Amino acid sequence: MLKEFYADLHIHIGRTEKGRAVKITGSKNMTLKNILETATSRKGLDLVGIIDCHSPEVIEELEQLIGEGKAKELSKGGVRYDKTTLIPGAEIEIYDENCHGPIHILAYFPSIEKMRAFSMWMSTLQKNIHLSSQRIYCDGRTLQRKVYELGGLFIPAHVFTPFKSLYGKGVKKSLNEVFDANLIDAIELGLSSDTYMVERMSELAPYTFVTNSDAHSLGKLAREYQKIRLADASFEELKKALHQKDGRSIVTNYGLNPLLGKYHESVCADCGERITEEGHTRCPFCGKNHLIKGVSKRIAELSSAPLAEVERPPYIHQVPLDFIPGIGPKTISKLLDNFGTEMNILHEASINELAAVIPEKLANMIHLARTGKLGITVGGGGVYGKIDVDGT
């Protein structure tokens, strides 16, 4: 019997319990325990990928949770904590001689033992194994083979962001410049793109798309996520879904409207003006040459093929609860008291049930937000777009 599960597979750890920094820009309360607790009791996520589990202190903490009986390893892979399954992983930066810029990738493993083996291997190729998203001194294909050897999953991260991504600067035209196309399990879209924008990129046709939060703070968990059809929340089932085996698959991707992403449009890094016309190498407003190429422009450069005949799950442009104007912490906690988790608020509660708890106007706003119908102002150059209250 297959059921539906909610998954966010790209979550960072800010600090270990002992206070050691992992993701330096991550918030201090972003510890393993706090993430698991938030995912299970507040967000209602069934599956979380924590991609800083290569850090030796994090591995110790995981083992401690298991030792105390608060978590247990699953026979089909993953670690169960309360109602949520953790998939341990790592985010890694590749910048080998075939790359034109740094590329972030995500690797996930079925067990703590495999995670530790990977961490040990990586520690001989990195300067600091305790930190997140560190550069590894080997080439992309070597890394892929190691992940494959350990029974892991390999997913290029936020592939269109202008910095540190596969298509941002990493390759000129094709992932084959750096990676073995057969050893990629899925593609992570990232905050400034969606399924529809990339449908003319023929080399992506074989891959499943994932949409994740890349959360650096607890509130941002499930900023983007997906609904997946699985028999149970485990590593093996997730792997099947990414390869669309035995009826397992991603049912819906939920993400920000790409127009809200902070790199959607090209912007001048010096004066901040938006550059919408084609063909500029310098800013037409201030004359400097620090243009940050927007994701939409980069995708247009890479898209030549006619529409690929790929059936993809719908991508819902959903606005996160705390982005909605008028929905403050008080309203959210009232909603949580009544509906349990954010997933219940977004997916289970009817508009009437919402309106029984909060003012009707706000209930309507939530309904517009979860169906992708709130108006927005476009983002670019590192500034997020904004929700436009009466622009619906």
Instruction: Give the footprint of Zn ion on this chain (CB under 5 A).
Output: 91, 104, 157, 214
CB nearer to Zn ion: give 61 or 91: 91
Closest chain position to Zn ion (CB) = 104
Task: Encode 11-25: b = buried (16+ Cβ within 10 Å), e = exposed.
Answer: bbbbbbeeeebbbee
Least distance (Å) from Zn ion to the CB of residue 27? 14
CB nearer to Zn ion: give 26 or 258: 26
Half-sphere exposure of residue 63, counting CA atoms within 13 Å on the CB side?
Answer: 11
CB nearer to Zn ion: give 229 or 262: 262
Least distance (Å) from Zn ion to the CB of residue 230? 24
| Tokens found for residue 35 | 């993430």
Least distance (Å) from Zn ion to the CB of residue 100? 17
User: DSSP state, 123?
Assistant: H
Q: Is 253 helix (H, G, I), strand (E, B) or coil?
A: strand
Check the CA dihedral 182-184-185-190 and report its sign.
negative
| Tokens found for residue 325 | 């104007």
Least distance (Å) from Zn ion to the CB of residue 158? 6
DSSP string, 139-192: -HHHHHHHHHHTT-EEEE-STTSSSSSIIIII-SS-GGGTS-GGG---EE--TT
- Chain centroid offset of residue 355 CA: 31
Least distance (Å) from Zn ion to the CB of residue 10? 6
Least distance (Å) from Zn ion to the CB of residue 137? 18
CB nearer to Zn ion: give 91 or 199: 91
CB nearer to Zn ion: give 214 or 224: 214
CB nearer to Zn ion: give 137 or 163: 163
| Tokens found for residue 354 | 């919402």
Cβ(119)–Cβ(80) below 8 Å: no
